A and B are shown apart, each in its own frame.
Chain A
Amino acid sequence: MIDDEAHIRRVIELKLKNRGYAVVTASNGEEGLYLIHRERPDVVISDIMMPRLDGKTLCEVTDDLKKDRSFLTIIMTCRISPEEHEWVDGMQETLFMEKPFSPARLVRSIDEYFHAQEK
């Protein structure tokens, strides 16, 4: 979970932990990318309007990693500028969540993903 907003980190961490998922959080882009490499999570949830971590960078990193093993990327966006969609097409296994989002929906999507993976 990568977001610079403390509140959002708190809420998602809490929600997911309640569901039985293990969560690691990062409050900035650098830390986030580092964690992705170290922890090798199954799901990466990230905001994309952070310094040093925008959609394009995230896309590059995750696509690269997904060559070795697959995982889900969930991107939280405000969906306002058309530029955001330029790099969208190239991403694999990605979900988009618009802010403001519902944590329940988020968790549902993650559940579905794992469910599908089991099959």
Chain B
Amino acid sequence: MKVLKIGIALSVLFLVGMAVSTRWQVREEEKSLQEKVLSGGKKLVSLLSLFPVTSFDDNRRALFFRTLIDTTSPDGLVYFVLHDDGTNKTLALIPHDEIGIPEDVETNAHLSMGLIQQSFIDRLSEKKIYEFAKPIFEDGKKAGTLRLGLQIPSVSFFSASRTSFIAMLAFVIFAAVTLVYYSFSIALRPLGRLQEEFKDTRVRSASLVSSSLKDGRIGPVLDSLERFLGELRSKIVELEQENVKLASKLGVIRFQKNQIMTILDSINFGILITDTQDNVTHMNDYMLNLLKKTPEEVIDRPLGEVLEHQEITSFIYQRETLNTRKNAGHVETVFPDRAPGEIFQVFCSSLTDMDKTVIGRTIWVKNVTADKAAEKSQHEFIAHVTHELLTPITNIKSYSEMLMDGEIEDGETQKEFYNTIHQETDRLRDLIQNLLNISKMEMGNLTVNKGLVKTEWFAEDCLSTIEASAQEKNISIEKKLPDNFPSLIADKELLKAAIINILGNALKYTPEKGTITFAITETPDAVAFEVMDTGCGIGEKDLPHIFEKFYRSADVSKTVGSGLGLAIASEIVHLHDGKIQVQSEPGKGSHFTIRIPKQEHYLGKT
């Protein structure tokens, strides 16, 4: 179809071109003819005017005609007249009857004394006629006027030579075009077939095209293409394999990364990682929970914005600029609106790459509230223990000093003082024993050496430790002891320590003139030791906690002591598979009961 269009276009162009050139050619011809006519006319008329009038008779007429006709074309010659001035007659050699010559033209011609050229348009044929008039002179007188009318012969548009020329040209062009078209067609046919085949070829096809097409020039080109394609194919296969390898590597890396993230998230302190621009790159769950943010809100945000915590950010930057280990590697701070009442320690260190370049920072946030509380209670414990130890020591020192200074003259008082010193050393020993026990308990080293315990002596032992102090406080001791003292298998020292602790508490918390009752009772499978006092009692809130290590009541009046006594007692009772119970009412007193199961007693078994 394109070809047709091209053909039509070409034809049109050709025709137009032809028309234009032909017209131009015609015009040129006309112009030259015109010149020829003009110059020819002048010459002719000048030449002919040399002949006398009389020579224009019949003899010469034919000669003149021939000459005229030879010089002009047949249709160029319009008329040829001679006016004889002598006879005043006009001899029309070639008449101009059909031509209407305008009057003024005629007049001018007649009047002129020399060559005169005029032109006018013939009314009938509408052609331009050129008239050449010249007077004939004989003997110095005008004898006549010669008038020659010429016109430009029409140029035939389709003259024979022109037509044939055009025809030939047209043929040549047509032939050429056809030839070119077909030769291109033929030359491009293989490509057309290639195109068809290529439509179905894919990268993986065995070969580009069927070998039937590989003829002529196309063949080598196709071969090169195939070679090239082969290289591409193998390259693609390589890349695909690489891709698979990379994908699996990526999978492994992702998995490992996930593992690490999971580990980070399972840690119970906060981890925050930033890059060198101080934008957050990762936060573990703990941290996200603490700040109550989602990952989307924090990743790639500046650190300051995310933390909203003046103290921490200034600590981090301080550390950076000082770059020493002099200052604490951490700062202690709080997050008042996120975790009120909790204390946190914040650590910071640089994150480095394998080649030691700094790629960011790691920030740890640890909740140390519990640790701090533990530290505090440890301090308190030590303070109390020290105080408790120093008290008997002070007593011993003071009393013995007074005795040494001889200030005590009274024998009774002296005895009293010696007694006190003696008791206080026991008190000290018991205290230290308690401490040792508690230490062993903490370490899990408390060993129970069970033996036969005769409760009669046992009761005496225990009560003797508080007798003197009770007396001083005017506290009366009641004993409710059975007639038949039971025996049991137990660790005497430990049991004693337990009971002494309870008795000591009773003593401490019973005011002056109160009563402490000590009772031993027996059941078929156990022995019960009871201590009752009329002291200040134990509050409801404290009751469940009193056997806990280091437990101190919130009530200020009850914080004398280390908080260990009952804990030790409780532990000892449990080591004996026994039970310890307490009943108490604030203001009314307390009632402690220890039940130790009896065991078949026989010597030699532990």
Measured CB to CB, the residues of A under 8 A from B are 4-8, 11-12, 14-15, 18, 49-52, 78, 80-81, 99-104
A50 CB contacts on chain B under 8 angstroms: 560
**B554 contacts the other chain (Cβ, under 8 Å)?**
no
Task: Please determine whether A100 and B398 come into contact, CB atoms closer than 8 angstroms.
Answer: yes
Tell me the dominant secondary structure on chain B's binding face: helix
User: Given A80-B386, A101-B394, A6–B557 Cβ distance below 8 Å?
Assistant: no
On chain A, the residues within 8 Å of B386 by CB distance are: 78, 80
Given A51-B558, A81-B379: A7 and B424 interface contact (C-beta under 8 Å)? yes
B383 touches A15 (CB 8 A): no
Is B387 part of the contact surface with A, judged by Cβ < 8 Å?
yes
Question: What residue of chain A has the Cβ atom nearest to residue B390's Cβ?
Answer: A99
Collect the chain A residues with CB atoms within 8 Å of residue B413's CB: 14
Q: Mark B376-397, 1 if CB is under 8 A from A, else 0.
A: 0001001100110011011111
- CB-defined contacts of B408 to chain A, threshold 8 Å: 14
Kindly list chain A residues whose C-beta atoms are within 8 Å of the C-beta of B556: 51-52
Residues of the B chain whose Cβ atoms lie less than 8 Å from the Cβ of A81: 379, 383
Query: What is the chain B residue whose CB lies nearest that of A102?
Result: B401
A sample of 8 more A-B contacts (CB under 8 A), given A78-B390, A104-B405, is A5-B394, A7-B399, A14-B408, A18-B407, A49-B560, A51-B557, A99-B390, A100-B390
Q: CB within 8 A of B398: which of A4, A78, A80, A102?
A: A102
Contacts of A52 in B (CB 8 A): 556-557
Q: Which residue on chain B has the smallest CB distance to residue A106?
A: B398
Chain B residue nearest to A76 (CB atoms) is: B394
Report chain A residues within 8 Å CB of B382: 80
Asked whether B420 is an interface residue with its Cβ less than 8 Å from the other chain, the reply is: yes
Asked if B469 lies at the interface with its beta carbon under 8 angstroms from chain A, I say yes
List 5 A-B pairs, minimum CB-CB distance, nearest first: A100-B394, A11-B398, A100-B397, A7-B395, A51-B557
Q: What chain A residues lie within 8 Å of B424 (beta carbons)? A: 7
B123 at the interface (CB under 8 A from A): no
Q: How far is the CB of B341 from chain A (nearest CB, A)?
A: 21
From A6, A51, A101, B472 is in contact (CB under 8 Å) with A6
B473 close to chain A: CB less than 8 A: yes
Smallest CB–CB gap between B435 and chain A, Å? 15
Contact A5 B407 (CB under 8 A): no
Jot down 29 A-B pairs with beta carbons below 8 A, ordered by A: A4-B560, A5-B391, A7-B395, A7-B398, A7-B420, A7-B472, A8-B398, A11-B398, A11-B399, A11-B402, A12-B398, A18-B407, A49-B383, A51-B557, A51-B559, A51-B560, A52-B556, A78-B383, A78-B390, A99-B390, A99-B393, A100-B390, A100-B393, A100-B394, A101-B398, A103-B398, A103-B402, A104-B401, A104-B405
Q: Are B390 and A6 in contact (CB under 8 A)?
A: no
Interface string of B457-487 (1 = CB under 8 A from A): 0000000000001001100000000000000
Assembly CA distance A90 to B473 (angstroms): 36
A102 partner residues in chain B, CB cutoff 8 A = 397-398, 401
Query: With A and B bound together, what is the CA distance between A102 and B405 in angstroms?
Result: 11
Q: Give the CA-CA distance A51 to B508 in the complex, in Å.
A: 12
Give the shortest distance, in Å, between B469 (CB) and chain A (any CB): 7
Closest residue of chain B to A82, judged by CB? B379
Q: Within 8 Å CB of B558, what residues of A?
A: 51
**A100 CA / B393 CA spacing, docked (Å):** 6
Q: How far is the CA of A81 from the CA of B138 in the complex (A)?
A: 171
The closest CB in chain A to the CB of B508 belongs to A4
Residues of B within 8 A of A4 (CB): 560
In residues 129-178 of chain B, which contact A (Cβ within 8 Å)? none
User: How long is the Cα–Cα vector from A7 to B400 in the complex, in angstroms?
Assistant: 12
Cα(A4)–Cα(B405), bound, Å: 25
Given that A6-B472, A100-B390, A102-B401 are contacting pairs, would A11 and B560 also be in contact in the complex, using a CB cutoff of 8 Å?
no
